[in-house]
Structure 1
Amino acid sequence: MTQHNGTTVPTAAAPAHGGPDEPNQFALLRQRRFAPFFWTQFSGAANDNLFKFAFTVMVTYQISVSWLEPAMAGIVIGALFILPFLLFSATAGQLTDKFEKTTLIRVVKNLEIVIMAIAAWGFVVANVPVLLACVFLMGMHSTFFGPVKFAYLPQVLNDRELTGGNGMVEMGTFVAILLGNVVGGLLVALPQVGHASVAIACIALAVAGRAVAQFIPRAPATDPGLKINWNPVTETCRNLRLAHGNIVVFRSLLGISWMWFFGAVFLSNFPAFAKEVLHGNEQVASLLLVVFSVGVGTGSLLCEKLSHRQVEIGLVPLGALGMTVFAVDLYFASRALPAPVGGIYTLGSFLAQPAHWRAMGDLLLLSLCAGLYSVPMYALIQLRSAPTHRARIIAANNIMNALFMIASALIAGALLKSGFSIPQIFLIVGLANAVVAGYIFLLMPEYLLRFIAWVLTRIVYRFKVTGEQNIPSEGPAVLVANHVSFVDAVLLMAASPRPIRFIMDSRIFQVPVLGWLFRLAKCIPVAPQKDDPVTYQRAFDEAAKVLREGDLLGIFPEGGITRDGQLQPFKGGVMKILEQAQADGVDTPVVPMALTNLWGSFFSRIEKKGAMTHPFRRGMFNRVGLNVGEPVPAAQVTPALLQERVAGLLARG
């Protein structure tokens, strides 16, 4: 728990429910702290998309509006829905931090009922201006719900549930998109009663969402003393500056915003892509949304399994790579597809063509990779944002998302007007994704490092961690481990939900590839005092700075990699680090850790044989482990005690 303005606020590490974390993400659906919230956001997302897609299909296929071309309908509707995020997100973030979140959710759901009643009339009389106004109002409804949604989760879920909870919400959102678009497309296509059926469905979903919102438990305000700044321009600038104060969070916001730019290009062009490129009817347009939604939902659910229930940002580069590969292949798969004899494919005749399955496969895998890309970023932002400012950080995210999505609409529209085909636009965006993702990962090496660690611990090794809850989720700590191989630091990175700065023998930086990797990770080189006193002292000064800033410091007290697999005597460097931390007034626990079954593998030294000289030594997928012990208070630490603790952890196997 943390204190702010005299109010006790639940933190992610100590969720409001106070119980143990659930065994898997699906178990959360049996919990009142999560289930009513999940179904509330699910109904809202379904309603948004049922309404928008039915409207898009109506102006694309069914009625002719001189000032809204069918090819531009999806882009215009998408941009109009996003505009309120740009205008009102700053206000929405403040309201979420200041007021109790469940009350806000219920007010927003009341607003949804009113908007859908107006939209129902617009559908019955086929009034396009009224429906466009409702698109804007539903965008405003979603603007005020967004910060509540992502600020609520860290208050009721702990760190180990956060990735799974976000995965469930992301999956639910895209399943809702799937159902909303499918139902909207099917209902609007019904002869004579289509528009009235859409109207009834929109009102029914809004009422259902409001009913289930009544069961969401209270979520206290995190900053009740906040004074609301109603000027959206100055508050938007303030929110962006607030987000920029944490550079990791800010650059993650940029990454998420790019993902929405990327996704918006595909989603807004699906109706026209289905009609003009795939030569399909309304059902084929709905199929594209089905495939896309299933892919994102599957990728979102896979995140918890692939991340071992921690916030694993190493999945982000994997997702980015897949987004580019399959977007580019979608371009090649959709070139020069033959038109049907009858002029347009029905759903059955479309699926009967083998050439279409490649395009559907690309779309499925592209969207799956988008799920792998987005969920860890959302979880990272929630985990590393201050609870008192979390909703305003989410609001800053929504503002940036809106800017990127409006830009995507403008750029896609300009490219269409310039004569580019929709497949060519997909190709351009896929190639741009590679450039943008590469730039983000160079700015934030932590993503790339965690990806390398993720690959190493799931492909080169089968890595099992026990006692990971002993790694502090916040505040400074020194992590000490036995030194078995050249990749020990990478394995420890994979086990920790937070970045670790390592003190390492300066000679390891001369190892090809690994040296570059450790420099990228900002590891701290150290040399014996008698050989290089300047490097020696600089290492301890940098270590003191790491702890003062509240971060994790990793050291290998043996001073070198073992050649016989036995634990070597611990040296006294850790005491010098703790003495400096005490002088700085920093309370620094020490966490003992033991790497097991790693000696004898490719990256370890074996007696007179060098490391990395026998590629198939012990084979691939070698089972290795990490046992993490309970933290030792700084006042009790001695090298002998730490060696004893690490030896005890090694004995566990």
Structure 2
Amino acid sequence: MVDTQKFIQYFRTKKITSFTYLNITQFLGALNDNIYKLLIAFFLIQQLGADRSYLIFSTTGAIFVLPFLLFSSNSGTLADRFSKRNIIVFTKILELLVMSMGLMAFAFESVAFSYVTLFMMATQSAIFGPSKYGIMPEIVEIEKIPRANGLLTSFTFLAIIIGTFLASFITDITDRNFILAALSCTLISLAGVMMSFGIEYTPPSGSIKRLDVRFLRDIYKTLKVSYHVPSLLPAILGSAFFLFLGAYVQLNIIPFAMEALGLTDVQGGYLFLLTALGIGTGAVLAGRISGKVVELGIVPTAACGITICLFLIDYYSSSLTIIIPLILITGILGGMYQIPLDSFIQIASPNESRGQVIAATNFLSFSGVLLASMMLYLLSGVIGLRADQGFSVLGVFAGCVTIYFSFQFYDYVSRFVGMILSKLHFSTTYEGLDNIPSEPALYVCQHTAWNDTLLMLGAQRLRMRFFIQNEQEHKGWMKRLYKFLRVVFIPEVETLSDNLESIHSIGKTLRRGISICIFVENMAIEDEINMILSSTAFCDVLKAHETKIIPVKIEKGAKEKSHRFLPMLMNRIHIPAYLTFYQPKEIA
């Protein structure tokens, strides 16, 4: 007999991280999903006839989505109550059993059994999802989660690309021998089981919540909890919209290729592969841009780009040479849109209910898939719009979402834009970066010029609100910049204790998880901080939010002009700047 403990220990002693094992496990699962879904579709077309293909695809699509809607909430509860690693191993074993059922369904040429197998395949995927995403903060360091999510998403879409190709390829080379084709899926499942044992054990998160068949009520309660966590509910809704968007593009791309571009259905399928390739690329880019901190400022920017691309696809619908890069760019922007949202949901979700939050996100996401199918039927079957016009309608929806996120994530966008402008405008040297806390803080520094705001935004990765002493008249363009950054003009620090409006605004900002930067005119920063500490009302606000005070010194050099063309150009743009962050001061 095989010693299970030795088998597991073999994987753990290898110099491979748990995240790598998780990534390989989910890659093999996604690969199997995409191969098997198409194999069943090909099998049913052979059994029922090509003239019923529309009914076959709509039925298989509904059956595959149904378990995600029915079991997502309880799957999240399981992930919160039990070891997520053990649940992952269980689902991979279940997948192996389901693939064995698939072999039998093809062997007996049973249509009904094929549908049952597809339902079971989707069920194990629905159980796997919350644990897959929920385990990330337990096996990956917080600052590495955005990049890890980028890799996870990239491998998922790589699995979609390879799976879509292999399903057709295996069907062709086996001369539609579905038993041999299903055997390949069984072998992939076996490999997934072996890889899942390499993931290190993670303890249960401590939730005592029980399973409840009234999952809609659970989802509603989870969303209510998410509402009280800053930016979490908008991130959940944004993630769900992405699946709606992707599902509509997937469903509409082949009719679009046939109607507008004159391609065959198989050739049209390659356009969707371009989208998947783009999403994987965008996911990696988003992970690299985010670095150690989730960069939600990318989301509205990417959504705006997606909106423009959707309208351009309709406008240039007859030109294949333009459509190919547009679809690829749309995919890249989609990946950049999705990764920050997924990363933020994982990090911001309360630990004891993280699985439920992810499950609720999955439920809303797969509801979006159903809505995409309904929208396609409504636009094409009822209203009679062409496939290319459908992309413009989708662009209208994407535009509305862009406007929504521009308001919801305004502080993230302004910080992201400010960071980019800072890197373009300054060549900055930092000292004391270790003194910058991971939680919101109060920064006090001398105000030397309008671009001090850019330096502070580029120096740290948290959202920041600026409070500037209103001692001078500003130009029109500077007023517009300050309005974009939501700068608050305040009186001199000595009178802050009497300015309840400013103190209330500072407290509200800290409560939302946003740092405060107070720009003062006095070069003696310590004197200004002492004045702050002498204000009882101000200190009460800082104590309530356990906020540290950090003195900051800003120095700027002069532009260099005696260089050759390119260095001279860069030095004319870049201003040398030096930022020093001193030791935080605690409130007594």
Normalising by the residue count of structure 1, what TM-score does the alignment of the two structures yield? 0.77
8 Å contact kept, 1:171–1:296: yes
Distance 1:463 1:328, change over 3 A: farther
- Distance 1:140-1:632 versus aligned 2 partners, 3 A rule: same
RMSD value over aligned CA atoms? 3.4
**1:365-387 deviation digits (Å, cap 9, x = unpaired):** 11001111111111122222222
Q: Which amino acid aligns with 1:334?
A: S
**Residue 380 of structure 1 corresponds to which residue in structure 2?**
344
Counterpart of 2:187 in structure 1 is 204
Separation of aligned partners in 1, 2:445 and 2:455: 11
8 Å Cα contact 2:303-2:399 kept in structure 1: yes
Residues 313, 376 of structure 1: 8 Å contact kept: yes
SS at match of 2:135: helix
1:233 maps to 2:233: no
The residue aligned with 1:588 is: 547
Structure 1: distance between partners of 2:423 and 2:493: 38
Question: Which residue of 1 is the match for residue 196 of structure 2?
Answer: 213
Match of 2:438, as an amino acid?
A: S
Q: Secondary structure at the match of 1:479?
A: strand
For structure 2, the 5+ residue unaligned runs are: 1-13, 561-568
- What is the letter of the counterpart of residue 44 of structure 1? G
Matching of residues 544-563 of structure 1 within 5 Å: 544-547=507-510, 551-558=514-521
Corresponding letter in the other structure for 2:405:
I
Return 94-103 or 118-127, whichever deviates more. 118-127
| Structure with greater helix share of residues | 2
The answer (yes or no) to whether the contact 2:559–2:575 under 8 Å persists in 1 is no
Residue identity opposite 1:405 in structure 2:
V
Residue 292 (str. 1) matches residue 245 (str. 2): no
Say if 1:420 and 1:549 are closer, same or farther in 2 by CA, change over 3 A: closer
Q: Which residue of 2 aligns with 1:536?
A: 499
For the 8 Å contact 1:318–1:451, the answer to whether it is kept is no
1:100 CA displacement:
0.8
Shift of 1:519: 4.9
- 5 Å matches for 1:247-646? 247-281=230-264, 283-335=266-318, 355-418=319-382, 419-461=384-426, 468=433, 470-474=435-439, 476-506=440-470, 512=476, 515=479, 518-519=482-483, 522-528=486-492, 536-547=499-510, 551-558=514-521, 570-571=527-528, 572-576=530-534, 580-581=538-539, 584=543, 587-597=546-556, 619-620=572-573, 622=575, 624=577, 626-635=579-588
Change (3 A) 1:594 1:568: closer
1:374-406 CA deviation, whole Å, 9 max, x = no partner? 111111222222222211111121121122221
Residue 271 to residue 549, structure 1, CA distance change in 2 (3 Å): closer
Q: Give the aligned residue type for 1:188.
A: T
Q: Which amino acid aligns with 2:285?
A: L
Residue 213 of structure 1, CA deviation: 0.2
Q: Which residue of 2 aligns with 1:3?
A: none
Residue 47 of structure 1 is matched in structure 2 by 32
Tell me the amino acid that sits aligned with residue 359 of structure 1: I
What's the secondary structure of 2:173's corresponding residue? coil
SS at match of 2:550: strand
1:180 paired with 2:139, answer no
For residues 275 and 174 of structure 2, what CA distance do their matches in structure 1 show?
27
Letter in 2 for 1:437: T
Residues 533, 481 of structure 1: alpha-carbon distance in 2 compared, 3 angstrom cutoff? closer
- Residue 229 of structure 2 corresponds to 246
The residue number in structure 1 matching 2:11 is: none
Q: Contact 1:526–1:535 at 8 Å: present in 2 too? A: no
**Which runs of no fewer than 5 residues in structure 1 stay unpaired?**
1-28, 336-354, 560-565, 602-615, 636-653
Percent of aligned pairs with the same amino acid: 23
Q: In 1, distance between residues paired with 2:333 and 2:448?
A: 35
Q: How does 1:50-65 map to 2 (within 5 A)?
A: 50-56=35-41, 64=49
How high is the TM-score relative to the length of structure 2? 0.85
Alpha-carbon offset, residue 93 of structure 1? 1.1
> Offset of 1:167 from its aligned partner?
0.7
1:573-600 Cα shifts (integer Å, max 9, x gaps):
4324687435855543223444454777
Q: Is the 8 A contact 1:543 1:577 kept in 2?
A: no
SS in 2 for 1:556: strand
Aligned length: 564
> Structure 1 pair 546/360, CA: closer, same or farther in 2 (3 Å)?
closer
What corresponds to 1:139 in structure 2? 122
After superposition, the Cα gap between the structure-2 partners of 1:325 and 1:132, relative to the gap in structure 1 and judged at 3 Å, is farther
- Structure 2 contact 464–515 (Cα < 8 Å) conserved: yes
* CA–CA separation in structure 1 for the residues paired with 2:178 and 2:576: 60
Deviation at 1:105, TM superposition (A): 0.5
- Aligned twin of 1:343: none
Aligned counterpart, 1:608? none
Equivalent residue letter for 2:298 = L
